[in-house]
């Protein structure tokens, strides 16, 4: 079976086993702490004195806790509470002592730093002043060298030299004079080269402009001469063209007159031949059409008459309308005659259609 604690955990009812304190092991652990921190012996002894009574109390309470073996025994339950509260009080006291001792250590450290700073301040300004006296000659030399370097840089800058290429602080004066002269010569040579380059450019530009003007003038002269020659050639071409046009016009006129005469004769001849042939063709066509119409009419009349003999009035009228359709219309030669004939044909057609309509109503 199990017992439920206030926090809901289940505690076993088996015999409770609490480890017995190994005093030798604890003593060795404490010695290791002292050794790792590097404390002086008297400081270590003092600290052990601060915590010794708590260690004794803990040892006693752990020994009592080892006697708690039956969680179901009410007396042991009450004893367990007393032992636990005792251990809790010892633990809290140890924590309080730790904080107090550590606070004292911090205060002691701050006091040590303050004392040290005051004492060091009493030394450092005097040391600095004495060092300045000690290094006076050296400092003056440094100032002299710095001023010399500044002046040398300014001199090199004036002649467009590069001060970064040299160790001006250690360079001897005669060497610097040579360096400065070399830089000045390089600057003068560069300026002269640039001046010469610019002069050459200006000269070349001037010569190019003069050559351009000369070529332009020569081109203008050649252009004017070519224009004069072209003008003269154009005038000559106009004269030649006029002469050619006059000759061609005369020849064309003569040729045109001959062609017109020949064409008129040919047209008259062809017209007479066409008129003669057209007259013969029309005459033959009229005769052929008349013969064909007459033959068709006779055949149709015979067929209609034969059919009408035995037909009623309606069929007779229909047959009559077909007989009326067969009409040989004369050939008209004038426009007026053609118009009259067309009107007659139209009226005849309408009359035939009216006969058919009335016959259909019978």
pLDDT in tens, 203-228: 898 888 888 888 888 888 888 888 88
Domain match, 73 and 140 both: no
In a domain, 271, yes or no: no
Looking at the predicted structure, is the pLDDT value of residue 143 above 60?
yes
Residue-wise pLDDT tens digits, 49-73? 777 788 888 888 888 888 888 888 8
Domain match, 141 and 129 both: no
pLDDT of 294 reads 79
Q: Which residues contact 2 (CB under 8 A, 6 or more apart)?
A: 10, 11, 12, 13
Domain match, 43 and 85 both: yes
Q: How much is the average pLDDT of 35-58?
A: 75
Which pairs count as long-range contacts for 355-360, CB under 8 Å and 24+ apart, including other chains?
A: 355/317, 355/320, 355/321, 355/324, 356/317, 356/318, 356/321, 358/317, 359/313, 359/314, 359/317, 359/318, 359/321, 360/314
Looking at the predicted structure, is the pLDDT value of residue 313 above 80?
no
Question: Phi, psi (5° rounding) for residue 218?
Answer: -65, -45
Q: How much is the average pLDDT of 82-105?
A: 84
Q: What pTM did the predictor assign?
A: 0.33
Running DSSP on this structure, what letter comes out for residue 163? G
In a domain, 254, yes or no: no
Is there a contact between 163 and 157 (Cβ–Cβ < 8 Å)?
yes
In a domain, 225, yes or no: no
Looking at the predicted structure, is the pLDDT value of residue 349 above 70?
yes
In a domain, 8, yes or no: no
Domain match, 126 and 164 both: no
Q: How much is the average pLDDT of 192-196?
A: 90
Q: How much is the average pLDDT of 167-190?
A: 89
Among candidate residues 133, 157, 192, the one where a domain is terminated: 133
Domain match, 25 and 124 both: yes
In a domain, 351, yes or no: yes
pLDDT of 327 reads 74
Task: Dump the DSSP string for 186-253.
Answer: HHHHHHHHHHHHHHHHHHHHHHHHHHHHHHHHHHHHHHHHHHHHHHHHHHHHHHHHHHHHHHHHHHHH
In a domain, 269, yes or no: no
Q: How far is CA 59 from CA 79, 95, 330, in A?
A: 16, 17, 166
Place 303 in a pLDDT band, splitting at 50, 70 and 90.
confident
Q: Which residue has the tokens 């007396």?
A: 75
Q: How much is the average pLDDT of 182-202?
A: 89
Domain match, 116 and 163 both: no
Domain match, 99 and 150 both: no
Q: How much is the average pLDDT of 267-284?
A: 80
Domain region containing 85? 14-133
Q: How much is the average pLDDT of 335-347?
A: 87
Domain match, 77 and 167 both: no
Looking at the predicted structure, is the pLDDT value of residue 359 above 50?
yes
pLDDT of 122 reads 64
Domain match, 47 and 79 both: yes
Domain match, 159 and 128 both: no
Give Rg (Cα) of the chain.
76
What domain count does the chain have? 3
- Give the H/E segment covering residue 2: strand 2-4
Domain match, 129 and 140 both: no
Q: Is 79 exposed, middle or buried (0-12, 13-18, 19+ CB in 10 A)?
A: middle
Domain match, 160 and 90 both: no
């Amino acid at each position: 079976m199990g017992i439920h604690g206030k926090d809901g955990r289940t505690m076993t009812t088996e015999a409770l086993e609490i480890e017995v304190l190994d005093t030798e092991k604890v003593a060795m652990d404490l010695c290791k702490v002292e050794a790792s921190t590097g404390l002086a012996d008297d400081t270590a002894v003092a600290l052990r004195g601060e915590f010794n009574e708590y260690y004794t109390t803990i040892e006693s309470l752990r020994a009592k806790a080892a006697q708690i073996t039956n969680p179901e025994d009410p007396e042991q339950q009450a004893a367990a509470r007393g032992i636990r509260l005792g251990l809790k009080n010892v633990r809290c006291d140890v924590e309080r002592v730790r904080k107090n001792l550590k606070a004292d250590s911090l205060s002691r450290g701050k006091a040590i730093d303050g004392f040290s700073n005051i004492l060091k301040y009493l030394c450092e300004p005097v040391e600095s002043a004495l060092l300045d006296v000690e290094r006076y000659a050296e400092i003056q030399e440094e100032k002299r060298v710095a001023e010399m370097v500044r002046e040398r840089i300014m001199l090199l800058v004036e002649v467009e030299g590069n001060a970064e290429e040299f160790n001006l602080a250690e360079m001897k004066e005669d060497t610097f004079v040579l360096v400065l002269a070399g830089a000045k010569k390089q600057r003068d040579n560069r300026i002269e080269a640039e001046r010469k380059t610019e002069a050459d450019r200006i000269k070349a530009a001037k010569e190019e402009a003069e050559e351009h003007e000369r070529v332009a003038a020569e081109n203008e002269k050649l252009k004017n001469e070519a224009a004069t020659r072209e003008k003269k050639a154009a005038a000559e071409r106009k004269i030649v063209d006029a002469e050619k046009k006059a000759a061609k016009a005369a020849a064309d006129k003569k040729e045109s007159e001959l062609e017109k005469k020949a064409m008129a004769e040919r047209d008259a001849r062809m017209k007479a031949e066409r008129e003669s042939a057209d007259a013969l063709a029309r005459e033959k066509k009229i005769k052929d059409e008349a013969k064909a119409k007459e033959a068709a009419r006779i055949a149709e009349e015979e067929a209609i008459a034969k059919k009408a003999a035995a037909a009623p009035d309606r069929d007779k009228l229909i047959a009559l309308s077909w007989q009326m359709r067969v009409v040989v219309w004369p050939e008209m030669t004038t426009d007026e005659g053609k118009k009259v004939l067309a009107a007659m044909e139209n009226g005849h057609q309408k009359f035939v259609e009216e006969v058919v309509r009335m016959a259909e109503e019978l």
